[in-house]
Amino acid sequence: MKRKVLFAVIALGTAINLNAQDLKTKDVPQVVKTALANKYPEAKKVGWEKEKGNYEANWGGKSGEDNSVVFTPAGQFVEIVKAIKISELPKSVAPYVAANYKGAKIKEAGRVTDAAGKTLYEAEIKGGDLIFDENGKFIKKD
């Protein structure tokens, strides 16, 4: 029994690390750091994570995560998420959350802009992020 519990704990820990892994700046490829500096020269005190094979840079605000930008290992821009006030989400988001996630409260919100310039919205609730299009139509849960 102890072996099964130990295996489960190790498997869970590994799964969590596969999702997001904090990195030291020295462990981020130079091409990625250069891409960040060129695209967002205002980025200071950057924290790094590796998520789903890409590199995520976080900076700004009290939490250090007002801006979150993702680059591929080759330094190609994927998307940026800028923290916004919950009240800045499209008007249909809060009613959708209330109707489909009973008792859930939106903890944080973000405006996502991808490499093509497409805008999405992210509403964080306990258990994940809900993604909406620019008009507030639900797309998926991350």
> Over the stretch 25-63, which tens digit does the pLDDT of each residue have?
999 999 999 999 999 999 999 999 999 999 999 999 876
The confidence score (pLDDT) of residue 19 equals 55
The confidence score (pLDDT) of residue 88 equals 97
When pLDDT is cut at 50, 70 and 90, the band that residue 134 belongs to is: very high
pTM recorded for the entire structure: 0.79
What number is the average pLDDT over the span 123-127? 95
The confidence score (pLDDT) of residue 12 equals 37
Q: What does the DSSP assignment read for 22-73? A: EE-GGGS-HHHHHHHHHH-TT--S-EEEEETTEEEEEE-TTTS-SEEEEE-T
In one-letter notation, the amino acid at residue 86 is: I
